Amino acid sequence: MSEISALDALATTRSIHRYRPDPIPDEDLSKILWSATRAPSGTNHQPFRFLVLRDGERSRQAKALLGSSFRKSWSVKAADEGWRDGADPDPNSRRFRTAETMQRFVDRFEEIPVVVLVCMARYRSSNPYEGASVYPACQNLLLAARALGYGSTITVWHGFCEAELRALLGIPDSVLIAATMPLGRPEGSHGPLRRLPVGELVYDDAWEASASWVRDPPESRFSRPRS
């Protein structure tokens, strides 16, 4: 596999929602998890923990719980945000295709070869920034997966099954389940991220003061959040 530069990886690591069922060799999985554990954290406290679900009996049960929680979560989100509105949606629109992909993602969740529960052993719950010590590890996992030809995404759709999941896997209450990250070979490909133009996000010297020196590279693609 060809190597990818750190900057190219940053520009192209998309959230993957379509996975091939092929298992991930231990060596690759180990590299991805090792990279995740190299993330920074406050005072290098390293509160992140990674519970990897593969194909053992308990993992299969956990994936089944997660699968139904994900299906419920997407159905609530799709209804709340009107993803299925419109009597005759254009099947070529980005919105229609995204909704199709999300439905397929949740319908086939159990087939995803690896699911990682990214957890945080809480140690300073009075600190409002405590949670910030776990998400850099999620981003490291995304980038390491990308570098090795895999895909993942950060999700928080374990809410509907959290109590059962904790009981099944022995996760104590003192531990936060910060993200559920599927992992596998992507069916499609990674590609350019769509974000707001950099000039709308970076200020110079004062709040909302334009940073005239920032530039979007010519290949940039853009997307604006729905209000």
Q: Which residues bind ligand FMN (CB under 6 A)?
A: 14-15, 153-157, 193
Rg (CA), the chain: 19
Instruction: Using the minimum distance from each CB to ligand FMN, give the nearer residue, 33 or 178.
Output: 178
The least distance separating ligand FMN from the CB of residue 222, rounded to whole angstroms, comes to 11
C-alpha span between 139 and 13 (Å, rounded): 10
The least distance separating ligand FMN from the CB of residue 157, rounded to whole angstroms, comes to 4
Instruction: Using the minimum distance from each CB to ligand FMN, give the nearer residue, 156 or 163.
Output: 156
Instruction: Using the minimum distance from each CB to ligand FMN, give the nearer residue, 35 or 155.
Output: 155
Residue 96 Cα distances to 70, 90, 99, angstroms: 19, 7, 5
The least distance separating ligand FMN from the CB of residue 57, rounded to whole angstroms, comes to 26
Instruction: Using the minimum distance from each CB to ligand FMN, give the nearer residue, 170 or 225.
Output: 225
The least distance separating ligand FMN from the CB of residue 80, rounded to whole angstroms, comes to 13
Q: Report the phi/psi class of residue 82: left, alpha or beta, with left for phi > 0 and alpha for psi in -120 to 50.
A: left
Instruction: Using the minimum distance from each CB to ligand FMN, give the nearer residue, 19 or 157.
Output: 157
The least distance separating ligand FMN from the CB of residue 200, rounded to whole angstroms, comes to 16
The least distance separating ligand FMN from the CB of residue 14, rounded to whole angstroms, comes to 4
The answer to whether the CB of 124 falls within 8 A of the CB of 174 is no
Instruction: Using the minimum distance from each CB to ligand FMN, give the nearer residue, 189 or 212.
Output: 189
